[in-house]
Amino acid sequence: MLERLNQALWYIERRLDQQIDVAELARIAVTSEYHLRRMFSALAGLPLSEYIRRRRLTVAGADVLAGREPLLEIAVRYGYGSGEAFARAFRAMHGVGPGEARHTGAVLVSQPRLTFRLTVEGSSSMRYRVADRPEFSVVGVKARIPLVHMGPNQALIDFVRGIDPQILEHLEKLSDQEPQGIVAVCDDLDPSRAEGTELDYYHGVITSAAAPDGTAVLPVPAGTWAVFTTSGPAPQAIQELWRDVFTQWFPSNPYRSRPGPEILRTRLSPDKTEADAELWLPVEREQS
């Protein structure tokens, strides 16, 4: 998998001054566009689209400083429809406009080329199972919140704290399928998975019962799920599990992620500092 991702990275380098088709990148990596974006974001720590943008502006910065071509010509080469759009993007990355950079020889920011390598660290094992599930429904209270990769998500915390405990008590009685009890469900994430992009969050249960008044329903089609478990400090253990699934498990197993909700069942210790968690991710087998 990592070798194929590196081939896709080389394709990007050859086409920084041309249109880059993500479908073609997925073909090179022998996977789906959805899984490619998920894997890249987890491994690189930034979305695929952001990496391409930053590489283009890095190479454009060198052309600007060289001073041999008009700025508009450089802007068009790297996909910007006007000098103004190029100047805004250039300043956002480098902290200085292209004209000023050329005249003053300013210090610019560089996005290095990425290469993915497998590093073996320790001998810890991930606990997981694969389950085929018929269609089911998530029933619960819904909100649109921002994505936060590490640390507390204050919008999520505030939303959950504001839910009427009686609603949660009623919902928990409806739980009749795995994972049992109240679950956190994330759906409709931005394909880039960039920090701060929004997603649909459901705080509810997996059930075959009718939805109570005032709750939202998310129908989930039949499919295959990878189920991971972890224990440790909250929320770090859960966020690290999410990271490790994409940086360790997927590159080592014949599965890829597929579109669908991500389901987390968490049980906190009495002082809320420790958590036992079960993470359900929609997957499909890689094509051989």
**229-260: per-residue pLDDT in tens?**
999 988 888 888 888 888 788 887 889 999 99
Give me the pLDDT at residue 48, please. Answer: 93
pLDDT at 226 over 90: yes
Q: Which helix (H) or strand (E) holds 37?
A: helix 33-44
Contact between 236 and 257 (Cβ < 8 Å): no
Mean pLDDT check: name the lowest of 3-17, 83-97, 101-115.
Answer: 101-115
Give me the pLDDT at residue 123, please. Answer: 41
Transcribe 246-280 into DSSP letters. IIIIHHHSSEEE-SS-EEEEEEE-TTSSEEEEEEE
Q: Which two tokens stand for residue 231?
A: 């224990």
- Torsion angle in degrees (nearest 10) through CA of 110, 114, 117, 121: 40
pLDDT at 114 over 70: yes
Q: What's the CATH architecture for 2-104?
A: Orthogonal Bundle (1.10)
pLDDT at 122 over 60: no
Give the separation between CA 36 and CA 50, rounded to whole angstroms: 14
pLDDT at 288 over 70: no
What is the average pLDDT score of the chain? 90
Contact between 133 and 221 (Cβ < 8 Å): no
Could you tell me which of 277, 285, 262 has the C-alpha nearest to residue 127? 277
Mean pLDDT check: name the lowest of 39-43, 89-93, 101-105, 150-154.
Answer: 150-154
pLDDT at 210 over 70: yes
Quick check: do 2-104 and 127-285 share a fold?
Answer: no
Mean pLDDT check: name the lowest of 119-123, 132-136, 175-179.
Answer: 119-123
Please tell me whether residue 14 adopts helix, strand or coil conformation. Answer: helix
- Tell me what percent of the residues of the chain surpass a pLDDT of 90: 66
Domain 127-285 has CATH 3.10.129.10: no
Domain ranges of the chain: 2-104, 127-285
Mean pLDDT check: name the lowest of 7-21, 46-60, 133-147, 232-246.
Answer: 232-246
pLDDT digits (tens, 9 = 90+) for 48-65: 999 999 999 999 999 999
pLDDT at 41 over 80: yes
Give me the pLDDT at residue 46, please. Answer: 86
